[in-house]
Amino acid sequence: PNGRSLPVTNENKYEYIQLMSEHKMTNSVKQQIEHFLKGLHEIVPPQLLSLFDDKELELLISGLPDIDIEDLKQNTEYHNYTPQSDQVQWFWKVLSDFTQEQRAWFLQFATGTSRVPVEGFKGLVGMRGPQKFSLHRAYGGDRLPSAHTCFNQVDLPEYPSEDVLREKLLQAVSEGHEGFGFA
């Protein structure tokens, strides 16, 4: 009540951000959300929806995408790697060997969604608008690859072999798919 007249200070700025985010993302569209959920629950009971997390629900609704690795490769930028780097060559081989489901997990891990843009990977959008997929060299060959979904970016450590890269990438996308978060 009367929050409009309260000044935002260093002490209350986090509360302000929390309340403002809550207002913008839920309270201001509460009526639309309620109507949407009412219609959805007429078709799918809430107890059935609760069995799935957001990633599983997206795959269930959209189905497995057809992920064209060559298209992704053509729309990739490299940072401290080149297309000729061993790790990059292994990366594309491993990704090509993935099943469609594993490719969808990878896409979700790297971009935050398992859907391919309508216009292909040249249509990827990041936090700053159009943003290609990018592979960045990461240091520390014992760590897992990490992803920055806002930037369509994967940090790929300099692994010593294709087998190690395969194992680490699969572990990262599998754990990411299961809900373990990566920064």
Residues involved in catalysis: 150
Amino acid at 174: S
Q: Which long-range contacts (CB under 8 A, 24 or more apart) does 144-147 make?
A: 144/168, 144/171, 144/172, 144/175, 144/182, 145/169, 145/172, 146/172, 146/182, 146/183, 147/109, 147/110, 147/172, 147/176, 147/182
- In angstroms, the Cα distances linking 14 to 5, 26, 30, 95 are 17, 18, 23, 41
Cα–Cα distance between 85 and 64 in angstroms, integer? 30
With beta carbons less than 8 A apart as the criterion, state whether 92 and 68 touch. Answer: no
DSSP, res 159: -
Token pair listed for 169:
């990438």
